[in-house]
Amino acid sequence: MPQSRSERIAGVFIYIILSFITLLVLYPLYFVLIASISAPETVMRGDVWIWPRELSFVGYERLFANSELMRGFLNTLLYTTTGTALNVMMTIAAAYPLSRADFNGRGIFTAIIVFTMFFSGGMIPNYLLVKELGMLDTIWAMIIPSAVSVWNIIIMRTFFQNSIPKEMQEAAFIDGASNMRVLWRIVLPLSGPILAVMVLFYAVGHWNSYFSALIYLSDRSNYPLQLFLREILVQGQMQEMVDISDDSLARSLMDAEAIKYAAVIVTNLPMLLLYPFLQKYFVKGVMIGAIKG
Amino acid sequence: MMQVRKNWQLYVLFAPVLIYFIVFHYVPMYGVQIAFKDFMANKGIMGSPWAGFKHFERFFDSFYFWRIIKNTMGIGLYELAVGFPIPIILALMINEARSGRFRRFVQTVTYAPHFLSTVVVVGMIMMFLSPVSGLVNFIITSFGGEPIAFMTEPSWFKSIYVWSGVWQGMGWSSIIYLAALAGIDPQLHEAAKVDGAGWLRRIWHINLPGIAPTMTILLILNIGSVLGVGFEKIFLMQNPLNMEASDVIATNVYRSGILGAQYSFSAAVGLFNSIVNFIMLITVNRIARKVSENSLW
């Protein structure tokens, strides 16, 4: 189909705008990367723009010398794995019955669950409940209050309804299979892609969350990585605003900047490296959710 | 009844889920009654004496009330005005780009920031906007301007919050529109071309109506959460100097409740927020159902 002149011009325009947007998104990430491996004083002077200057890994050295951070990393790993395992089990346990037309009461159960998306008791009653249950400062506070997400239940239920052939399940029932057996032997083996999506959604959520740790944990030895990151990245900034003229302090301020850049890279590198390969799963999750929001 | 017996395993499977929702969502809703009580730790939620609307009155009369409402509404509406249309425009543009490779590259890059944690994003904002060593101020000074202390200047707070949110979320939010656009019958476009419809006309008359249902649903959800502006990011961006523009309902609840242990008062503030949100959601949903036949329920 031949294109008109205006259409070609519009096409070029779109390419230019999209390229600009892409650059705008990419450059800050790229800058953090090159800043993290440049000498801190070159970054502070504003000499680093396109390439790293005077290669230096002082930020990384300082970062890895910090034993608390390692502790935080291990805690996060623990919260992420156990939390995700619980999340996925609960999501299946919620979504499979709700996907079945012959599950009596599914209308009411769905309403009970969906209502919580739109109304909540708020931060304080939740906090008091967790406190009452004796979960403060334990791993339970990190994983149980967020045991399942309503949105993910809906995505999963939609998948079960639309992508698992009903005939296969019915045939198995006629052969005398129980509900659990059908779920285990027929439904779940056909749900590989959506399970991957769920694992990814939940795992990223746990990895990145700091809010429940902020309100439920006070013992530093339980802190997840994000809380230590908050100290480095966000609270470190406050000291910088203080006027300092001492020389050695200036030095440590520069190192502090280098540590910040390194911290961003270290905590996100695994994700950013894996992400292009996982992208299609994430996107699939959003798309399934979009079918019936 | 027979079906229930036949499917007993499904009920067993579902039981933990139901228990979870009751304990961790409905019990707190019940516990919100402390907003109408004078909570005393030794007497518990049930045993504490009733206080009527005392805490609500204190909140409405407090010096901070209008500041918090103004900030919460301001940030929420700003976010809606900017954060809602931009992903749509982005999706429409990506959809028009012919080269599949280019499209995929744009998508991969713009989705990526979604996976950064709030802590990291706020950390990056602070690094880039630092008056001493930040990239943005280097650019300003290289054009002869004066460095700006963005993070401590209240007038900048809302813009920084909203636009960094656009940076992080526009790609991810566009996915849902791209999915809707992919569902539009290409024959419609062919037919329109034959009829001589130009590029803009086709977007206006085919693509936009095609994604209108998605837009409506997301608009309802967005408006329903105008007052629910995220605690996580604002809290991290907050400092004593920008408080005037950054103090919102959620951060206020955190300060007076979790830190200050004024449980009843902050539960009242939180409840006020939940109720206003809920009313807004229902209202917008009702309007949408009348006007466009698309609604959440």
Residue A22 lies in a domain: no
A67 is a domain residue: yes
Cβ B242 vs Cβ B154: under 8 Å: yes
Tokens of A191: 């749900």
Query: What pLDDT, on a 0 to 100 scale, did the predictor assign at position B223?
Result: 83
A254 vs A41: CA distance, rounded Å? 7
Total-model pTM: 0.90
Q: B63 by DSSP, 3-state: which?
A: coil
The answer as to whether A1 is a domain residue is no
Cα atoms in the 13 Å half-sphere on the side-chain side of B53: 5
Does the pLDDT at position A142 exceed 70?
Answer: yes
Model confidence band, residue B179 (pLDDT cutoffs 50, 70, 90): confident
Distance in angstroms (rounded) separating the CA atoms of residues B235 and B242: 11
- Residue B50 CB neighbour total at 10 angstroms: 9
Q: Tens digits of per-residue pLDDT, A40-99?
A: 888 888 888 888 888 888 888 888 888 888 899 999 999 999 999 999 999 999 999 999
A232 neighbourhood in chain B, CB within 8 Å: 123
User: In whole numbers, what is the pLDDT of chain B averaged over residues?
Assistant: 90
Which residues of A fall within a CB distance of 8 Å from B204?
A: none
pLDDT band for position A24 (cuts 50, 70, 90): very high
**How many Cβ atoms from other residues are within 10 Å of residue A185's Cβ?**
11
**Domain contains A125:** yes
What's residue A271's pLDDT?
Answer: 77
DSSP B49: P
Q: What is the mean pLDDT of chain A?
A: 87
Q: Which residues have a Cβ under 8 Å from the Cβ of A146 and sit 6 or more positions away?
A: A83, A87, A205, A209, A212
Domain extent at residue A103: 59-287
Whole-number Å distance between alpha carbons of A199 and A206? 11
For B231-280, the pLDDT digits (tens) are: 889 999 999 999 999 999 989 899 888 898 899 999 999 999 989 888 98
A11 touches chain B (CB under 8 A): yes
Does the residue A277 lie in any domain?
yes
Total structural domains within chain A: 1
- pLDDT at residue B107, as a whole number: 93
Cα B65 to Cα B35, B137, B226: the distances in Å are: 17, 34, 17
For B80-109, what is each residue's pLDDT tens digit?
A: 999 999 999 999 999 988 888 999 999 999
Q: What are phi and psi of A45, to 5 degrees?
A: -80, -15
Q: How far apart are CA A77 and CA A70, in angstroms?
A: 11
Residue of B nearest to A267 (CA): B120
B261: left (phi over 0), alpha (psi -120 to 50) or beta: left
Instruction: Select from B127, B285, B286 the residue whose CB has the most chain A CBs within 10 Å, as the one to mutate to test that interface.
Output: B127
Which chain A residue has its CA at the smallest distance from B2's CA? A104
Nearest CA in chain B to A228: B119
- Confirm whether A31 is domain-assigned: no
Q: Write the DSSP symbol of residue A154.
A: H
Asked if residue A231 belongs to a domain, the reply is: yes
Q: Contact, B71 vs B154, CB < 8 A? A: no
Query: Looking at residue A95, which CATH number applies to its domain?
Result: 1.10.3720.10
Least Cα distance to A265 among A30, A61, A27, A25 occurs for A30
Q: Is B214 close to A122, i.e. CB distance below 8 A?
A: no
Contacts of A55 (CB under 8 A, 6+ apart): A37, A38, A39
- Separation of alpha carbons B40 and A112, rounded Å: 30
List CB contacts of A240: < 8 A, sequence separation 6 or more: A253, A256, B130, B132
Assigned domain for A33 exists: no
Long-range own/partner contacts, residues B255-264 (CB < 8 A, 24 or more apart): B257/A123, B257/A124, B257/A127, B258/A123, B258/A124, B258/A127, B258/A215, B263/A124, B263/A128, B263/B34, B263/B39, B264/B34, B264/B35, B264/B37, B264/B38, B264/B39, B264/B48, B264/B51, B264/B55
pLDDT tens per residue, range A215-227: 999 999 999 999 9
Taking the C-alpha atoms of residue A280 and residue A196, their distance in angstroms, rounded to an integer, is 11
CB neighbourhood size of B252 (10 A)? 23
pLDDT at A267 over 90: no
